[in-house]
Amino acid sequence: MTMDVHARYRTEGGGELVPRFNERFILSLGKCGNCLVCDDELNILPLSRASLKTLKQNSVNKGDAGEVIVRTSKEQEELDELKQSLEDTPNVGVLVELSKTLDQARAVLTFLEACSEKTNRSTIALTAARGRGKSAAIGLCLAGAISFGFSTIMVTAPEPENLVAVFDFVLRGLKALKYQEHLDFNVTYNNASGREQTKCITSIEVHREHHRQIIRYAKPQEKDKFATAEIVAIDEAAAIPLPVVRALMSSERLTFMSSTVNGYEGTGRALSLKLIKELRDAKKLNQTHAASQAASQIAGVRTKKGEFKVHEQRWKAAADAASGASSNSTGASLLEIELITPIRYATGDPVEKWLNNLLCLDCGSSMGDKLAGGAPAPSDCELYVVDRDALFSYHALSESFLQKMMGLYTSAHYKNSPNDLQMLSDAPAHAVFVLLSPSAEQDGNSLPDILCVIQVALEGKISRKAVEAQLARGHRSAGDLIPWTVSQQFGDSNFAQLSGARIVRVAVHPHVQGMGYGSRAVELLYRYYNGEMIALHGDGDESTEEESDDNDPNDNDSDNGGIDETAKGILGEKLKPRKRLPPLLLPLTEVKAPRLDWIGTSFGLTAQLYKFWKRAGMRMLYLRQTTNELTGEHSTIMVRALPRRTGFDDAWLPAFASDSQRRIVSLLGGPFQTMDVKSAGAILADFELYHNSQVNSSGNGNEAGERAIQARSGLSSTSDTISMEELNYFLTPHDLKRLEQYGRNLCDHHLVTDLLPATARLYFTGRFGVEFRLSNLQAALLCGIGLQNKTIDQLTVELDLPTNQVLAMFNKAVRKISMAFNEIAEESEKKNMLSDKARAKIEKDAEKLKNVTHQTLDEDAEEGAQVALKALKSSGDEEYINNIQDVVQDKSDQENNEVTNSAEIKTPGKRKLSGDDKEVSASSKKKSSKKDKSAKKKKSKR
C-alpha cells in the first residue's frame, strides 16, 4: 500500500521504498481493545479476534446492548472535596468549580495564587500531553486575573486559531464571575483568518466600575506590544521560536506558559529541554546565592560574640533562602506544573494507549530508568547496524527496542513528530546505527542498553543534467539536502554527482551525555564508511520470506471468537508478525559499506554543537543567513571527505571551505551580527587553524596541488604575509600611526574604530603570516568589534567580563597588530632603499666576501689581472692585448726600480735578513725571472 507521503522519500540515488510503517500499523490494530476491523459487509476480520473476545467477556447483557458502569475514583472524590472547601472563597471557588480534574484544579489554584500577589514576578510553566486541559486552565486563570484587577493582559500563540479554547474558557470564567457581555465586557473577533465559519477572538475589553481592563492577542514577533503588559500568557510555547519566547519573558511581570510535550501533532522539546532548563538553572543559582547570603547574615561579625546578630535579619535571610530568591536577585522564580489526568480520553483509555504505542509518543518517560550495564569506557563500545525490517516487524522485542530508540530521540532532540518515525521506517536512503556496551553480546536474555543512536541518510548520485535543469528553474527535489545546497551555493554541479552520508541525528542517553559516547559513535561511523573496517562476511543471504504460521504450536490464540476457520479470501486471512526475519543487530564488520565520497551533517549552530562536530574532523561549508523558525539558530552544513574509500581527488573540500570562510567574514557585520561572539570566534579560529596547517604542509611535495586549491578558492595570495603595497590599499600611514598610538595608550579606542574592520579581515584571512597569533579572547574581541560591529558594552555582557578587563585585552590585541604592521613597513623600507640592480650587485659582492681566502695583495692583483685578460681575449683583439701587456710590464719594472732606490736611500745600513725575508726575496726573484722570459718570447714573436 503506497501513500502520498512516500513521494517525498524517493530520491534519485535511493533504492526501492518498502512500506514498513503500514504493515506495523495494520498489525497494531489487532492489539487495540476498542477497534474492530470489518469488511464492506460488516464481517469482522480475523485481525480483530482478540478485541471481539474481550468485548464478549466485559459486556453486561441487558437486552441487545451493553450497560456502562461509572465508578467514582479517589481522585474525583478529592476534587469534590476541594471544590466544597473553596465554595465561599471569592473569585476562586467559582473558577475551580469549572475544573474537570484534580490536576487542572490545582493548576488553576497555582495560577490564581500567583495573580493574588501583584508584585509576583514568577514564571509558571504548564506542560502536559494532548487532551489534558492546558488551554482551559489558562483561560480560567486569565478570567481570575481580571477579577484581581490586572489592567493589561497579553496572550500569544503561533496562530489565533490556537487560542479558541483559551478565549472560550475566559468567557466561561467571566460569566461565572457574574460578568455580562455587552454590559461589562465586549468581544472583538478576527474575520481575516481566511475561514468565514471560524471566528477567532482577538481581544476582550472589560469596563466595570470605571476601570478599563483588556485581554488582547498579539503575534509573538510583535514584542513591542508586550512592553506595558502586566501578565503575558503564552499558549503552545514549544511551537514558537525559542529566542522569541525568551524575549517575551521579563522579570518585571508574571508569565504563564503552556505547551504540549507529546501528541500526534508533534512533540515539542525546545521548551522543556532548553528554555525550562535555563530557568531551572537560574532558580538553583538564586537559591545558592540566597543561602550563602543567609549564612553570612546568620554568622554575623565574629567580634564581640556576634552582637550584630539581629533576629529580624536572620529571619529575613532564612525566608529569602526558603523562597529561592535573595533580596538582591533580579531573576524571576520558576513554577512547574504538569497535568497527567486526561480529559479528552478516559483514564486508561485503550485508544490513547494504542496511539501512544503506535506513534511512540510517550516513550520519553522510560528514559528515567538507569542503565543496567553502567557506563563503560567509550573506547570499548561498538557500533551496530539496525535492520529496519526486523525493527518494524511488530515483534515484542523489536517493539521494546523501538520504544527505547525513540525515547532517546525524544530526550535528546528539540522536536520529534510521528512523521520522523515514518521516515525512519519507509525512507529507502535512511539507516540506523546504535552504540552498545561491550557486554551486549553476553546479555542474551535481555535487551541491551542503548548508549547512542545515529540516523543516517545516504545522499548524492544526482546526474549533472538533473542538477543543472532544476537549478536553472530555481527548484530542487525533496531529499539530498547537502548535495543540493552545496551545488546551489557554490554553483558546482559536479558535487551533486558524488555520494555521501548525512548524519540526521545523534541521540545519546540522558544519563551519559557529555561522556564521549557520541564522539565514539561518529568516529566508528566514519571508519566504517571510509573502508577501515573489513567485512568478515559478504552481504549474506538474508531471507525475509514468510513461513506458514497456521499450525504454529506456540500460537496461544486458539479461540477464534466465532470466526469461521474454513473461510477463504479476506475472511480467512490471518495477519501476524513475520517469523523469518534477519537479525535485528549486526556488527559493522559483517555489513558491507557503500562506496562514499564524504560524510556530513546539518544542524542549528551553537557553540557546543560546533565544537562537537569540529572535534569529529568536519569542516564548515555553509551557514544559512536566516535563522530557523523554531529554534532561532542558523542552520549550518559541515562535511568531511572520505579519501581512502574512493581514492578520488578531494581538493574540493579545502576550496569550498576557503570560499565559505570569505563569505562568513564578510557577512558577520550583516546577517550574522546577532550571532554569539563565542560561536563566531570559534568558526574563525577553525578557519585560521586549518589555513596555518595548509601553509605548513605546502612543502610536502604537493605545491602544485596547493596552489591549484588556493586559486580555485580565490585566496591564492593568502599563503604569504601581506606586502606593504597591498597594505596601502587598506590602511594609510596615518592609520598605522593611530593604531600605534592606541597600542601605547595615547588615545581612546573610539579613534581606531574605523580601522578595525579592515584589520580584522586581514587577520582572520591569514594575511599576518603563520607565526602571528592572538589569544582566543583577543580574537573574539577583534571579531566582535571589527567584524560584527558590536560595542564594548555588548561584548562585556556576552563574555561576562568586567569592562576594564575587556578594554585591556583589546588594547593588547591592537598593540600586537600594530607591531606586526611596523615590521611589515620596516621590511618594505629595507627593500626599497636601493634599486633592484644596485641591490643585486651588492648582494653578489656580499656573497663573494663570504668566500674570501687568506691571500696576499699581489696574489689578489694578479688574479684580477688574469680576469681582465680573459675578458679582453674574449673580445678577439690579440694585438691590442699584447701592447697592453708590454706597457703594463714596463710600468711595473719602472716602479720596482723606484721602490728599490727609495729603499736604499732611506736605509743607511743593511739589516740582517730573517728566514721569512729570504723566502720572500727568493720568490720575488723567481717571479721576475719568469716575467723577463715571457717578455723576451713576446719580442721574438714580433
Closest CA to 630 of 405, 413, 427, 360: 413
- The answer to whether 136 is a known ligand-binding residue is yes
- The answer to whether 514 is a known ligand-binding residue is yes
Distance (Å, whole) CA 115 – CA 110: 9
Which helix (DSSP H) or strand (DSSP E) does residue 742 occupy? Answer: helix 733-743
- The answer to whether 133 is a known ligand-binding residue is yes
- The answer to whether 663 is a known ligand-binding residue is no
- The answer to whether 140 is a known ligand-binding residue is yes
Contacts of 739 (CB under 8 A, 6+ apart): 731, 752, 755, 759, 814, 817, 818, 821
Q: HSE-up of 91 (CA within 13 Å, CB side)?
A: 14
Buried b / exposed e along 563-590 (16+ C-beta atoms within 10 A): beeeeeeeeeeeebbbeebeebbbbbeb
- The answer to whether 661 is a known ligand-binding residue is no
Angle between helices 311-323 and 276-299 (to 10 degrees): 160
Distance (Å, whole) CA 787 – CA 760: 7
Cβ atoms 22, 3 nearer than 8 A: yes
Provide the sign of the torsion angle of the four alpha carbons 430, 434, 435, 439, taken in this order.
negative
- The answer to whether 622 is a known ligand-binding residue is no
Distance (Å, whole) CA 687 – CA 660: 9
Closest CA to 612 of 604, 364, 672: 604
**Burial of residue 936, with CB atoms counted within 10 A of its CB: 0-12 exposed, 13-18 middle, 19 or more buried:** exposed
- The answer to whether 515 is a known ligand-binding residue is yes
Cβ atoms 443, 371 nearer than 8 A: no
DSSP 3-state helix, strand, coil percentages of the chain (rounded to 5)?
Answer: 50, 15, 35
- Phi-psi category of 786—alpha, beta or left, where left has phi over 0 and alpha has psi -120 to 50? alpha
What cell does 52 get? 471481539
- The answer to whether 517 is a known ligand-binding residue is yes
Distance (Å, whole) CA 896 – CA 838: 38
- With H, G, I as helix, E, B as strand and everything else as coil, classify residue 466: helix
Distance (Å, whole) CA 99 – CA 134: 11
Residues in the chain, overall count: 942
What is residue 531's DSSP assignment?
T
- The answer to whether 624 is a known ligand-binding residue is no
- The answer to whether 508 is a known ligand-binding residue is yes
- The answer to whether 344 is a known ligand-binding residue is yes
What is residue 787's DSSP assignment?
I
* Distances 228 to 29, 158, 224, 225, 325 between C-alpha atoms, Å: 53, 21, 9, 7, 25
Cβ atoms 669, 788 nearer than 8 A: yes
- How many helical (H) and strand (E) elements, i.e. helices and strands, does the chain have? 34, 18
Distance (Å, whole) CA 601 – CA 589: 24
- The answer to whether 138 is a known ligand-binding residue is yes
Which helix (DSSP H) or strand (DSSP E) does residue 201 occupy? Answer: strand 200-208
- The answer to whether 561 is a known ligand-binding residue is no
Distance (Å, whole) CA 59 – CA 74: 24
- The answer to whether 51 is a known ligand-binding residue is no
- With H, G, I as helix, E, B as strand and everything else as coil, classify residue 329: coil
**Burial of residue 224, with CB atoms counted within 10 A of its CB: 0-12 exposed, 13-18 middle, 19 or more buried:** exposed
- The answer to whether 253 is a known ligand-binding residue is no
Contacts of 582 (CB under 8 A, 6+ apart): 387, 389, 390, 540, 542, 543, 544
Cβ atoms 150, 363 nearer than 8 A: no
- The answer to whether 135 is a known ligand-binding residue is yes
Amino acid making up residue 868 = A
- The answer to whether 507 is a known ligand-binding residue is yes
Q: Binding site for ATP: which residues?
A: 131-140, 344
Query: Binding-site residues, please?
Result: 131-140, 344, 506-508, 513-519, 615
Tell me the binding residues for acetyl-CoA.
506-508, 513-519, 615
